[in-house]
Amino acid sequence: MRLLVISGAYPPMRAGESSNAHHLCRQLAARGIDVQVLTTVGNTGGNDAGVTVHAVMPGWGWSGAPRFARFLKACRPDAILLMFLGGMYDYHPMMTFAATIAHRVLPGVPFVTRYESPFAGAAPKSTLGGRIGRKAVTTFVKGEGVTYTSGSLLRDSNRVIVLCEGHKRVLEGEWAGSSDKIIVVPPPPNIVVCPDTNGVARRKGRERLGIGVNELVIAFFGYVYPKKGIEVLLEAFQSVGRSHADARLVFIGGTIDLDAEVSARYWDQMQELTKRLGIADRTKWTGAFDSSGSEGSEYLRAADICVLPLLKGVQLNNSSFSAMAAHGVPIITTRGDMTDAAFVDGENVVLAEPGNATALADSIVKLMNDEALRARLRTGIARLASEWLSWDRGLDRTLAAFEPPRSRS
């Protein structure tokens, strides 16, 4: 099978969407699939076996549509997978009509769209030219199922992959006709997970961090940018440190490229906050690391507790959570309006109130002091990871999206 994966974000770009696309392509190639990647100029990839990267798109606007169509025709894939997020395509609406273009260039070739998030489509930052072009194309590609935010993606994609149940509900609300073609496939870990035979990886991780064997490590994993709740975690850790002087807080990850200015400014603000709170000497920041290597995994192996203090609550689409879960570390996170039913407080996670530093600190201290709870969470998180977040399950579900829908009897 020759599969074309379209992703505006790909290494060396630093973003969760870039890492997700890269690891998905590596895993698909490991199953013997001939993976072709169409991406933005400069995203050269990682020279992975079985993956050919075509970094030939200087932009994703209307002027790039002919180049896009010519590439599809020349590539001649058996199937197409579009990784979609507005920011990956400069918030331009052209790619919201990618499925329509592909079906006209390559009739009969299945086209699947994977929504990284339905909340960031083409609309928020569209230029006047983009909006005029969208109006014209919408008139040309007329008919039911063409929406302002998703264009014809929901209507003309053979199947639509979403990363959690909340995202499914959002897209169903955008166009009710999409319901039957949407499937939920949460993202597996977007890093290489190294084994911890005889505690070797844990020791390496602690040596990298300069942390002693008897110090307790509380870890955050993921890119650093607003909405992650890092300021809440810092305030909570200040409180935790009053009763647990041996605790250390580690942030595993760096800034993102998709919104580089905002992420870099937030990074600086968080560094300054550690100083104001008096915890800078007990807080470590790893910065960016190569997700294809062992470094990130060794950092997670060094952790005793992981905390993901998301301001809107955890969902199955959070790839940072997948990486934490793959390492079997007890996890504290937050409950929001769209948190999936798979997360069960006290069984596979500890759920705290978003934005509440006092509640988060109480949850951290409780988990630190309760070995039975930590053991129960390790068992529960292993079960959750196996059912929803493993690469075997994720690949099976993704590849099933290219199969013709079963007829209803």
32 and 136 housed in the same domain: yes
Task: Say yes or no: 229 and 152 in one domain.
Answer: no
d(CA 146, CA 45): 33
Per-residue pLDDT at 120 = 53
> Domain check: are 153 and 207 in the same one?
no
**CA-to-CA separations, 279 to 122, 232, 308, in angstroms, rounded:** 41, 13, 19
Q: Which residues pair with 57 in a beta bridge?
A: 40
Q: What's the number of domains the chain is made of?
A: 2
Which amino acid does the sequence have at 67?
Answer: R
Q: Specify whether 152 is located in the same domain as 288.
A: no
pLDDT at 409: 42
Contact, 324 vs 308, CB < 8 A?
A: yes
Structure tokens given for 88: 């990956």
Same domain? For 250 and 376 the reply is yes
Among 309, 313, 306, 347, residue whose Cα is nearest residue 330: 306
Asked if residue 407 is part of any domain, the answer here is: no
What pLDDT, on the 0 to 100 scale, is given for residue 122?
45
pLDDT tens column, 47-101 = 899 999 999 999 999 999 999 999 999 999 999 999 999 989 988 999 999 999 9
Domain assignment of residue 275, yes or no: yes
Residues 134 and 43 placed together within one structural domain of the fold:
yes
Does 42 map to a domain? yes
Cβ contact 352:309 at 8 Å: yes
CA torsion angle 228 230 233 237 (round to 10): 160
Would you say residue 409 lies in a domain?
no
- Measured between alpha carbons, how far is 247 from 126 in angstroms, rounded to an integer? 46
In a domain, 303, yes or no: yes
User: For the chain, which residues score pLDDT lower than 70?
Assistant: 120-143, 405-409
Are residues 93 and 132 both part of a single domain? yes
In a shared domain, residues 178 and 324: no
User: Percent helix, strand and coil across the chain, each rounded to 5?
Assistant: 45, 15, 40
Q: Take residue 19 and report the two structure tokens written for it.
A: 């890492």
Helices (H) and strands (E) in the chain, counts: 14, 13
Residue 118 sits in the same domain as residue 219: no
Question: According to the model, what pLDDT value does residue 139 have?
Answer: 59
* Assigned domain for 91 exists: yes
Same domain, yes or no, for 291 and 170? Answer: no
* Rounded Cα–Cα distance for residues 131 and 148 (Å): 9
Model pLDDT for residues 183-224, shown as the tens digit of each residue:
999 999 999 999 999 999 999 999 999 999 889 999 999 989
In a domain, 326, yes or no: yes
Domain that holds residue 261: 197-389
- Say if residue 127 is in the same domain as residue 145: yes
Residue 406 belongs to a domain = no
159 and 239, same domain (yes or no) = no
CATH no. for residue 87? 3.40.50.2000
